[in-house]
Chains A and B, each alone.
Chain A
């Protein structure tokens, strides 16, 4: 927890007139004893005795909520694990379609926003209204940047037919992708040749292809095993056929990856959107000057939520984009 001890102590001093803040047992004056505290703290709810008690309750509440969030995502991570162990080639195949640079950019953007969120908590504790608002605005700006980048990525996927489940109709072949070519140039070339050969085969009797066919086939040489490795890993050729001429296809379960990809990133994106909404609300509260050493819980809890959303992305990025 990042909360600085000085501020909490300040909160304690300001809130509890007698030194024994929690000792209700000596509270002989009935309800009157509560009134000075409640009168001095407009944000203290009637059923709490001290701001400290209210803050502690909120803190425990938000941690429990974050626990439920982790479990909520755990179902998806579990599905991911099951499918990755069952169909590793699908994940190798599909990750070439994701843009690592945009993913890395988004990771940076979220990390910056986590910094400003943590900073905002400090500002709230010290009642630095202006800095608090600046930090919240930067956090929101980062969140928007993240969503824009995500939009670009999604639009690109949509355009290329990389959609989940039954809508999966990729327009590009993996060997046409720059990310694949850069890393495995020979394999890409070989795959392309094989694909051409595959294309021609069914049309073999047709006049147009008949002449070419012979030539192409002559050109193909059995590649070395090292060159074949990426094709095997990505499930483009069968695992056992080291002479895989004429067998090139994409892995059967490729659509499952994009289902998981869209589900996980979509659910995460939804959490980012909710986070933006809460930050805007906090900005409005901050503008009214509500926060100070006695009342900074909401900023603290929002920041905790925001850190969790970041943390989930920190896991999603390598799991989806950086597969080898």
Chain B
């Protein structure tokens, strides 16, 4: 993984650096890889480059490995990890590298906002000027009206995530904030303020996947992918029976827990997709960590801080680690692998044995959830 933020290199530089770091960290320098999956959403539009997976195989000497770019909006990273997992689990490949990267700071802000908005429904949503923050704002409005969530609660989430990012050298924004400060920040998509919304980040992250037998040759602390769940939902939010319910999250979680043979009680640490702070609440509820409409009460009690019952977004989350769209799902997985291996330094969750990542695509119409556990 590389530090998220405004990076000097281009997309390929970031992908190559993150990939080589992952390969080195896995002690797999001399290994031949069978396949490479590259998660990326917008290289053609922001970097004027296509077929980036083939290019990365060339840059880091993985030729003649199979190579594919995986695009699933902001859940591209989760999808690429899932594809790598399925390829190894099926027996088709032994060694797989999954990398995710996005160069987002090259275009003007309004152009990037428009590009990301193109994942909404073309005729029912996009043409009206909808952006992803607008979707977040409309969800937050319902949460406030129906469940009594306030901007103070949204601020608490930001404060927690910024505090975690201060302890994460890979985070984009390594700066603490206060609830009062978040409440005075500029309005982006009313009621969402600047400190309730993720920044625009460049970034890249990578992981090495192989069978457990093989992994034990590289390390005595291999992490096992115990469960994967992915689900889609209708594309336009207007067509959902209840726009406050993230059905794809519910179904993806059910599938992942089912495969892993685990429940929410088994999870020690989670990375959720807080592109907007209200999403951290909604995902935590629809995964099943909290009752619907009640997650904010757990935040009042500090249950999701580093020392709480269930630490959420120890990396700083999308809010402070940053959201380099194609890289995000892979970065979540990297953080959890480090947590399970005990490599997170000051932000280490004590004795973390089982972890969950939730990578949320579109505005909830394609979610990928992974469950990890110690493999030793």
Say if A and B assemble together. Answer: no
